[in-house]
Structure 1
C-alpha cells in the first residue's frame, strides 16, 4: 500500500479507537492519524504474534487489528499523559 493509503487507513482506525475510548486528549487530528498509523503497525504485529495474518491490506481483519493496535496506543498515551500532568 502507498503512504497515502496507510495515512487514510490510520485516520479511520484512529478515529474509531477514539470513538470507542472517548475522552479529552490533546493533539487533535494529527495525533489521531499518528496513533492510527502506528496502531496499524502494532496491530499487524499483534495479529501475527497471535497466529493471524496481521495487517495485510484493506480488508476487515486488517481493520480490526489496526483498531486494536490504535486502542492499545491510545491507552498507553493516556496513561503517560495523565501521569505527566499529575
Structure 2
C-alpha cells in the first residue's frame, strides 16, 4: 500500500472508512475527516494483521489494498466502540 502515494491513501482510506462506518452503524457520528482517518488507520492495521498471517500485502493491487483498508477500518471502529461503550 505504500506505493499508492498520499492521495491514494486518502481516497482509498476515505472510501474504506466510510463503508466501514456504514457497516458498523457509526456513519452519523463520523464526518469525512474521521472516515479518512479510520480508513488509513484501518489500512495500517489490516496490513499489519495480514502480514502476521503471511499474506503478501505489498503486491496485492488496488482492490486488495481497498479490502485491506476496509477490514482494518471495521476492526478499528469495533475497538473504538468497545472502548467508548458506556
Structure 2 unaligned regions, length at least 5: none
Q: Look up the match of 1:40.
A: 43
Q: TM-score of the superposition, structure 1-length normalised?
A: 0.80
Q: For the residues of structure 2 that align with 1:57 and 1:9, how far apart are their CA atoms?
A: 14
Unaligned runs of 5+ in 1: none
Q: CA RMSD in A?
A: 2.0
**4+ runs deviating over 6 angstroms:** none
Q: Is residue 41–residue 55 contact of structure 1 (8 Å, CA) maintained in 2?
A: no
Structure scoring higher RCO (CA < 8 A, sep ≥ 6) equals 2
Q: 1:56 to 1:36 in 2, by over 3 A?
A: farther
Size of the alignment, in residue pairs?
Answer: 83
